[in-house]
Amino acid sequence: MLPDSFLQELIAKNDIESVVSSYVSLKRRGRNLVGLCPFHGEKTPSFNLYPETSSFYCFGCGAGGDVITFIRRIENLSYIDAVKMLADRAGMAVPDQDRNDAGAKVRMRILEANREAARLFHAFLYSSGGRAGLEYYYSRGYTDATIRHFGLGYAPQSFDFLRDNLRKKGFHDEDLVLAWLCARSKNGKGIYDIFRNRVMIPIIDVRGNVIAFGGRVLDDSKPKYLNSGETQVFKRTNNLFALNFAKQGKHERLILCEGYMDVIALHQAGFTNAVAALGTSFTADHARLLARYTDEVVLIFDADAAGKKGAQRAIGLLRETGLRIRLVTIPDGKDPDEFIKRNGPERFKLLLERAANDVEYRLTELGSRHLLTTSEGKVTYLREATQLLADLNDPIERDVYLGRLAHDLAVSKDALKTQLEYQIKRRKKQQQDKQMSQVLRRSEETTKKANPDAARHVRAASAEESLLGLLLLHPDYLNVVSQRLSPEEMVTPFNRGVYEKLLSRFRQGLLVELSVLSEDYEPEEMSYISGMMRDSRERGATLTAEDAAHYVEVIKNEHQLQVLKEPTELTPEQIQEKLELMRKMKS
Cα Rg of the chain, angstroms: 29
Please give the full DSSP string across 252-304, using - where no structure is assigned: S-EEEESSHHHHHHHHHTT-TTEEE-SSS---HHHHHHHHTT-SEEEEE--SS
**pLDDT value of position 321:** 83
- Looking at residue 2, what DSSP letter applies? -
Report the alpha-carbon distance of residue 113 to residue 170 in Å, rounded.
10
In degrees and rounded to multiples of 5, residue 210 shows phi and psi of -80, 115
Per the CB < 8 A criterion, the answer to whether 361 and 367 are in contact is: no
Q: Of 313, 296, 200, which is closest to residue 254 (Cα–Cα)? A: 296
Q: Amino acid identity, residue 289?
A: L
Quick one: which H or E segment has residue 13?
helix 4-13
- CA gap 473, 465 in Å, rounded: 12
Peptide bond preceding 345 in cis form (omega within 30 of 0):
no
User: Do residues 559 and 484 make contact, with C-beta atoms less than 8 angstroms apart?
Assistant: no
The per-residue pLDDT string of the chain (587 residues; one tens digit each, 9 = 90 and over) reads 788 889 989 999 999 999 999 888 899 998 899 999 988 877 788 999 999 889 999 988 889 999 999 999 998 888 988 999 999 999 999 987 655 567 778 889 999 999 999 999 999 999 999 999 999 999 999 999 999 999 999 999 999 999 999 999 999 999 999 999 999 998 888 999 999 999 999 999 988 999 999 999 998 888 999 999 999 899 888 899 999 999 886 677 999 998 899 999 999 999 999 999 987 788 888 998 898 888 899 999 877 777 788 888 899 888 888 888 999 988 776 788 888 989 999 999 999 998 888 898 889 888 888 888 899 999 999 999 999 998 888 889 899 999 999 998 999 999 999 999 999 888 888 777 776 666 666 667 777 788 899 888 999 999 999 999 999 999 999 999 999 999 999 999 999 999 999 999 999 888 898 999 998 999 999 999 999 988 777 765 567 888 899 999 999 999 888 776 655 555 666 666 666 655 655 54
Distance (Å, whole) CA 213 – CA 195: 9
DSSP assignment letter at 40: S
3-state helix/strand/coil string of 96-158: CCCCCCHHHHHHHHHHHHHHHHHHHHHHHHCCHHHHHHHHHHHHCCCCHHHHHHHCCEEECCC
Distance CA 491, CA 461 (A): 7
Distant-in-sequence, close-in-space partners of 69: CB < 8 Å, separation ≥ 6? 82, 518, 523, 526, 527, 530
* Residues facing residue 182 across a β-bridge: 193
**Which among 144, 333, 339, 101 is positioned nearest to 232, based on CA atoms?**
101
Residue 449, phi-psi category: left (phi > 0), alpha (psi -120 to 50), beta (remainder): alpha
DSSP percent split of the chain into helix, strand, coil, nearest 5: 60, 10, 30
Q: What CA–CA distance (Å, rounded) separates 106 from 100? A: 11
Please answer whether residues 61 and 442 qualify as being in contact, where contact means their C-beta atoms are separated by less than 8 angstroms: yes
Q: pLDDT at position 565, please?
A: 60
Q: Whats the size of the chain, residue-wise?
A: 587
The 10 Å CB-count burial string (b at 16+, else e) for 307-325 is beebbeebbbbbbbbebeb
**How far, CA to CA in Å, does 484 sit from each of 430, 442, 490, 578, 582?**
48, 34, 12, 19, 20
Which residues pair with residue 201 across a beta bridge?
Answer: 214
Asked if 477 and 439 touch (Cβ cutoff 8 Å), the reply is no
- Structure confidence at residue 536 (pLDDT): 77
Cα 122 off chain centre by: 31
Q: How far is CA 258 from CA 268, 271, 298, 307, 364, in A?
A: 17, 15, 12, 8, 21
- What residue type is 243 in one-letter code? L
- What is the pLDDT, as a whole number, of residue 581? 58
Pairing of strands 182-184, 153-155: unpaired
List strands edge to edge, sheet with 64-66. Answer: 27-29, 32-35, 47-50, 55-58, 64-66
> Which is it for the CA torsion 442, 445, 449, 452, positive or negative?
positive
Q: Give the model's pLDDT for residue 576.
A: 67
pLDDT at residue 194, rounded to an integer: 97
Domains annotated for the chain, with CATH where assigned, are: 4-90 (3.90.580.10), 102-234 (3.90.980.10), 243-357 (3.40.1360.10), 370-429 (no CATH), 452-586 (1.10.860.10)
pLDDT at 151: 97
Q: Within 10 Å of residue 229's Cβ, how many Cβ atoms?
A: 12
Closest by CA to 156, choosing from 137, 139, 133, is 133
Sheet-wide strand order for 225-227: 153-155, 198-204, 210-217, 225-227
